[in-house]
Amino acid sequence: MCWKLWVNSLRELKRNAIESIQRFAPVKELHRPVLQKIPEDKLVTLSYYQIDDYLTCPLKYKYVNILRVPIMEHHTVIYGRAMHEAVSQYLLRKLNGSKFTLDELLDCFEASFDPQGFLDANHQDERFRIGREALVRFYKDEEARSQVPKFIEKDFSFVIGNNKISGRFDRIDMEKDGAVVMDFKTSAIKTQKDADKRVKENKQLALYAMAYQYVFGVLPVAVELYFLESGIIGRHELDEEDLDDVKEDILEVSAGIRQQNYPAKPEYKACTYCAYNQICPSAVIR
């Protein structure tokens, strides 16, 4: 190799090495932006997911909501969204009094099923098969149910203190004693006891119950989680005390955001499931 070529290839090697180091180095700039504190007379707008992100780890909230660092979606999110879309379309038709066939339901799932993020082709096929089976069961159960939903995919927003909370109810049914707020989940739950426990502990549903109370002036009689893969519906009958923790959460998150306070809160479980654990300098796992 001539001298000039050798020098060029050395430079090329060096440049590649520097690029690699830069690419995989902790993203220092992510902590740098100077953010202005939010005055008390301005509304802070929050969704359930933002509240949950901040409580899990304020730095995660910053990555998602302020820096908007792009991430590759997890396959459970892609699968869950396709299931949710199919179920919502079916229920919207039911609400409007028109027929949605099983084939239409399965076609809707297939059209929404984005084949990305799965571990391999077998994993993708397996999730697709499980989703179809769950929807066939859902269709039979729902066709046998005389109850027609009152609302499907209904947006809400309400103001509490100097905070605006917004979100969307998956489904609301009216029973003899009042409303039931339901959310659909694709997580694997196998017993009624586990399903009921999950509902009781579910902060998202407590927040949605609070939203219902603000919007309609009365607390719903119950909240429910419909676990689509098993067909089990967990239920919890609420009272005012169920909302106390939610109010505290809103105040804590809002106070932190007003101060633009986003410290890392590294914990094994939080970091394991955090989409930013490969770039976050505080992650406790890699």
Under the rule (CB under 6 A), what is the footprint of ligand SF4?
57, 59-60, 63, 264-266, 270-271, 274, 276-277, 280, 282-283
Least spacing, CB of residue 58 vs ligand SF4, in Å: 8
3-state helix, strand, coil in the chain (%, to 5): 50, 15, 30
Between 113 and 276, CB nearer to ligand SF4:
276
Between 166 and 282, CB nearer to ligand SF4:
282
Least spacing, CB of residue 148 vs ligand SF4, in Å: 42
Q: Per the structure block, which two tokens stand in for 121? A: 């082709």
Between 110 and 267, CB nearer to ligand SF4:
267
Between 48 and 227, CB nearer to ligand SF4:
48
Least spacing, CB of residue 105 vs ligand SF4, in Å: 37
**What's the rounded Cα separation, in Å, for the pair 280 and 192?**
38
CA distances from 201 to 63, 65, 66, 223, 234 (A): 27, 25, 29, 11, 11
Q: Per the structure block, which two tokens stand in for 24? A: 């995989």
Between 151 and 262, CB nearer to ligand SF4:
262
Least spacing, CB of residue 247 vs ligand SF4, in Å: 25
C-alpha angle with apex 43: 199 to 258, nearest 5 degrees?
A: 85
The amino acid sitting at 80 is G
Residue 31 C-beta-side C-alpha neighbours within 13 Å = 12
Least spacing, CB of residue 45 vs ligand SF4, in Å: 22
Number of Cβ within a 10 Å radius of residue 78: 19
Least spacing, CB of residue 185 vs ligand SF4, in Å: 22
| Phi, psi of 256, rounded to the nearest 5 degrees | -65, -40
Between 172 and 283, CB nearer to ligand SF4:
283
How many residues are listed for the chain in this entry?
Answer: 286
